Structure 1
Amino acid sequence: MIDEKKLSQNTYKEEFIKYRTVVLKALNRALESVDPYNSVKKFVKRIDDKIEIDGKSYNLKDFSRIYVIAFGKASIKMFKAISEIVKVDSGVVVSNAFSDFELSNVRFIKGGHPIPDEKSVEAGEEILRLARNTSESDLTFVLISGGGSALVESPLIELSRLQELTKLLMKKGADINELNAVRKHLSRIKGGKLLKSLKGTVISLIISDVIFDPLDVIASGPTYFDSSTFEDAVSILRKYNLNDEFDDVVKIFEEGLRGNIEETLKPGEKLLCAFENHIIASNYIANKALLEFLKESGINTFYLGPGIHGIASSVAKAIAGIGRSIDLGYIDIRKPTAIVFGGETTVEVKGNGIGGRNSELTLYIAKHLERTNFVFASIGTDGIDGVSPAAGAIADSQTLEKAKRLNLDINMYLENNDSFTFFDKLGDAIITGPTGTNVADISVLLIF
């Protein structure tokens, strides 16, 4: 969780302390609302020998065995919850952190993130082995959360090539949809392919880290139909001028176009399992809790939705423009007002500093709103912001003044993509450590 006391006091005026406190408490309320353990417990109810999920009842006596496949940043907490609801016969749990508990019949694996590693591949093979062992009388829970695309993999190319391609796509600014379209067509698990190995009844509980919660994109859609194609994957490599450097990958995609390599799962394909998918936590759910807290605190709200995306510098300019319009009375809403939004921006990497999309967004906001009374904070709900150890950052109208006192040149830090270092020196980096959940980013701009 966010250290509200420390960060709220790191400013000069009582009014700023007051509104920093409100913003930080609102962010903590949002994180609590998408806690993976609580989300599973709310969604899956046990009544004697039956479980109820979204109004549908299942008699546990109808199943021979119950399996659990869990992967993503929230997988450990999600698994703990489901294991308290049903008796798990066997399972595989993959996360970006080590589990604080063990079970003899469950394999816990720490995979690589944001770049897949050898453990990610090991996890992928373990999951496929379990899936192929299921029968038509079994029930399998698949617990999916953000980060699953990197944490679990069974690649069609050498791991080193996949790592290199993933890094370059991210560096060139590919969004999550583009990145996943490429990864799905180089995988034996992604793009609905996991379902092709499962039998029986499959229930997927999903914590979404993707804008508008598309089931085919979250963790690269292992248990849903895929709308992307080999043709899309080729186009993305060409868009970012990687087709020559990765001609071996292009050849795989071309083989797929000829029908020599299996496509991702498409509607109408025959499967040996009956499956359903449920979103149990999302950016929208987190923002709803945040908005409720702000309203309880007497703050007017202006919600922009969960779909804000684009280059961080451009998004900051647009959000700051809305903030200035409210401040100057061009938008008919009374101050104090909080502009709330979710989504995921991207960063154009030009320098070699330490930063992330949330801290860079915050630094640009501080630059654009220097003459406005504001508090702004933005965090990655997983507790990770780019290559930094922070979740994000907080700024207010005093930020640039504090920077000048420390001889920090804001433009130099922006040009070097070194936003974490900037906020760390000011004491305004928001450091939570891994939160155990992941519903993309949440941001609040409070104008007063």
Structure 2
Amino acid sequence: MVQDTQIFLTELFEVAVAAADPRETLVRHLPPVPKGRAVVIGAGKAAASMAKAVEDNWPGPLEGLVITRYEHGLPLERIKVVEAGHPVPDAEGARAADDILGLLEGLTEDDLVLCLISGGGSSLLAKPGEGITLEEKKAVTKALLASGANITEMNTLRKHLSAIKGGRLAVAAYPAKVVTLMISDVPGDDPAVIASGPTVPDMTTSADARAVLEKYGIDIPSSIDTFLNSSASETPEPDHPAFAKAQSIMIATPQESLQAAAALAASKGITPVILGDSIEGEARDVAAVMAAIARQVKFHDQPAAKPCVLISGGETTVTVKSEEGATGRGGRNAEFLLALADHLDGLAGVYALACDTDGIDGTEDNAGAIITPDTLERASKAGLSAKEYLARHDSYSLFDGLGDLIKTGPTRTNVNDFRAILVL
């Protein structure tokens, strides 16, 4: 039975990922071949697979460049694929961003720019604003990642420290027509937040970016302070003519992936309950709430009768405080699961999986992990204290010791986190 439940949860995750595969979702959204040039650009964890879907199905001449995370590339013939740093930007991403801007020079009204955007693009399109060095931007990015800032807050700051995001890429492509195909990895599927919205109007201001820095107490060098005080840090106005010629199309969303998993569960006689596609908050706090819902199902058959599976998406955060002396390994999904196991405290008949749909939980080599009713018991027998590992954000090491990590390798798509809690 335990093995069957683990297979079931893994199948739900696989179906969720497959629902966001660009090879299946992108082709029907391709625009007509233009009179002039067709230039493909893009950035994100799914950039290479999106570019391959375009290249395999485009009926006319094609050229371009996309940027993806290291080990997420694919061999293409007409579109160049560059691998770069994520979640912290690096020089490869900065050079590739310059090359993308070079491809957009001299375009005309007869030309088409097909922009392929997915989660991770903010770090990969690494072109800092004037006067800001890449090292300075990397330092701010690292501070943000450890602060507990949510993705909307992070991308608000990124847009106003960039020379390419926040709509600036659409302006660079003008007067060509820009069609952006997007895979959403953000709560609410806001095109302006996905990869910091390089081709869509931005409604935030430099003051909003400063507010994020102040909220999380992030120190900045004088160059960033100077840039945020300049007009260059403001993103293009929404009424810029470039946006009148720009179109954004969502080709995959977290909700569609959750629905695919729910359909599979229902087909196997397990009642699916989708709790939400945009759940945010500290991973540990979300785990406490999810544990309470699981208990409600277990003891009261609410909000659904057993057997049922609680399915959710979104993006939790992990705040690493210096006083904790955290030296461990583990992404937000593994931390969520370890906290969930702690709250469930061996509750019989409850199993859970949490994975990042891109196949990488944080910066580790696992997509996520899985827990069973005996997770804490097995950990204790192995000399592993769940509370101690959780305290130092070392969930990866504990699940690795138990053999409960899930490793898929890069999936080359990204619709954020996938969580499934099975209650029998």
What TM-score, normalized by structure 2, do the two folds share?
0.94
| Equivalent AA in structure 2 for residue 23 of structure 1 | L
Q: Would you say the 8 A contact 1:67–1:88 is kept in 2?
A: no
Please tell me whether residue 291 in structure 1 is matched to residue 262 in structure 2: yes
- Which AA in structure 2 matches 1:358? N
Aligned with residue 14 of structure 2, among 21, 25, 28 = 28
Q: Which amino acid aligns with 1:193?
A: R
Structure 2 CA distance for partners of 1:102 and 1:21, relative to 1, 3 Å = closer
Name the counterpart of 2:36. Answer: 64
Indicate the residue corresponding to 2:166 in structure 1: 191
Structure 1 residue 109 displacement after superposition: 1.1
Give the drift of 1:332: 5.1
Aligned residues: 414
For residue 311 of structure 1, what is the aligned residue in structure 2? 282
Distance 2:211 2:303 in 1: 45
Please tell me whether residue 101 in structure 1 is matched to residue 75 in structure 2.
yes
C-alpha displacement of 1:387: 2.7
**Cα drift, residue 272 of structure 1:** 8.1
Alignment of 1:45-444 (within 5 A): 58=32, 60=33, 62-86=34-58, 87-96=60-69, 97=71, 99-103=73-77, 105-156=78-129, 157-198=132-173, 199-243=175-219, 245-256=220-231, 261=232, 263-271=234-242, 274-329=245-300, 331=302, 333-349=304-320, 350=324, 351-369=326-344, 370-444=346-420
Distance in 2 between residues matched to 1:169 and 1:19, nearest whole Å: 37
The structure-2 alpha-carbon separation of the partners of 1:21 and 1:107, relative to structure 1 and needing over 3 Å to count, comes to: closer
- Alpha-carbon distance between aligned partners in 2 of 1:89 and 1:375, rounded to the nearest angstrom: 48
In structure 1, the gaps of 5 or more residues are 1-14, 45-50, 52-57
Unpaired stretches in structure 2, ≥5 consecutive residues:
none
Counterpart position of 1:446: 422
Deviation string, structure 1 residues 31-72 (Cα, Å, up to 9, x no partner): 11111221112433xxxxxx5xxxxxx3x3x51111100211
Q: Is residue 19 of structure 1 aligned with residue 5 of structure 2?
A: yes
The range that moved more, 275-284 or 261-270, is 261-270
Q: Give TM-score scaled by structure 1 length.
A: 0.89
**1:226: how far off?**
0.6
- 1:333, CA displacement in angstroms? 2.3
1:381 deviation in Å? Answer: 0.5
Q: Which amino acid aligns with 1:417?
A: H
Q: Measure the CA separation in 2 of the matches of 1:436 and 1:393.
A: 19
Amino acid at match of 1:173: G
Letter of the 1:196 partner, please give it: V
Q: Please tell me the root mean square deviation across aligned C-alpha atoms, in Å.
A: 1.5
- C-alpha separation between the residues in 1 aligned to 2:306 and 2:237? 50
The 8 Å contact of residues 226 and 266 in structure 1, kept in 2 or not, is answered as yes
Distance 1:312 1:158 in 2: 32
Q: Which residue identity lines up with residue 168 of structure 1 in the other structure? A: A
